[in-house]
């Protein structure tokens, strides 16, 4: 039994929620998100609270129960506050620039890496080695941050690469000179 799925979701005043059968539309000051929920779960909207109920007690329904509640809660938080991820560039000469709608990364390759910034995502560059990704869709923010990180993941010997803020790289000892 999911303890997360049982919890009601509070809806802030600046967020509108519309439920049509299994499709939920959430509109807020930062954007609009739509998601279809499994037919094994019912959604009730009352008194600025959303509650989810299981229609049967199968294993599949139990797996989706807490997940569905968390996805809906993230949608509400996203359209009201936005999500952000912070990436740090570690390495000599590693740079980031925004040109038109592209993120240009210089990561020690013989060529710059170009990434198209998706709609709904805002990229802010602080100083020279910090990239902040903001957006109202948590899934899209996380995926774009992971795509950037995949271009040069941190390596364990010198610690160079792209890493999330607060991420700790387990360092390895290099060769010993005999």
pLDDT tens digits for range 63-104: 899 999 999 999 999 999 999 999 999 988 899 999 999 999
CATH topology of domain 83-164: Outer Surface Protein A; domain 3 (3.90.930)
* Domain extents in the chain: 3-81, 83-164
The string of DSSP codes covering 83-137 is EEEEEEEESTT-EEEEETTEEEEE-SSSSPEEEEPPTTEEEEEETTTEEEEEES-
Same fold, 3-81 and 83-164: yes
pLDDT tens digits for range 8-50: 999 999 999 999 989 999 999 999 999 999 999 999 998 899 9
CATH topology of domain 3-81: Outer Surface Protein A; domain 3 (3.90.930)
């Amino acid at each position: 039994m999911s303890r997360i799925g049982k919890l009601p979701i509070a809806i802030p005043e600046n967020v509108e929620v519309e439920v049509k059968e299994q499709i939920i539309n959430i509109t807020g000051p930062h954007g609009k998100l739509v998601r279809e929920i499994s037919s094994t779960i019912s959604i009730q909207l009352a008194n600025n609270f959303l509650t989810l109920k299981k229609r049967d007690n199968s294993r599949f329904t139990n797996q989706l129960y807490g997940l569905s509640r968390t996805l809906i809660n993230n949608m509400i938080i996203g359209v009201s506050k936005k999500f952000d991820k912070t990436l740090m560039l570690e390495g000599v000469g590693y740079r980031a620039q925004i040109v038109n709608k592209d993120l240009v990364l210089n990561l020690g390759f013989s060529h710059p890496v170009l990434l198209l910034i998706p709609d709904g995502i805002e990229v802010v560059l602080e100083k020279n080695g910090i990239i902040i990704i903001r957006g109202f869709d948590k899934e899209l923010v996380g995926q774009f941050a992971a795509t950037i990180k995949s271009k040069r993941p941190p390596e364990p010997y010198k610690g160079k690469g792209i890493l999330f803020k607060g991420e700790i790289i387990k360092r390895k000892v290099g060769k010993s000179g005999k």
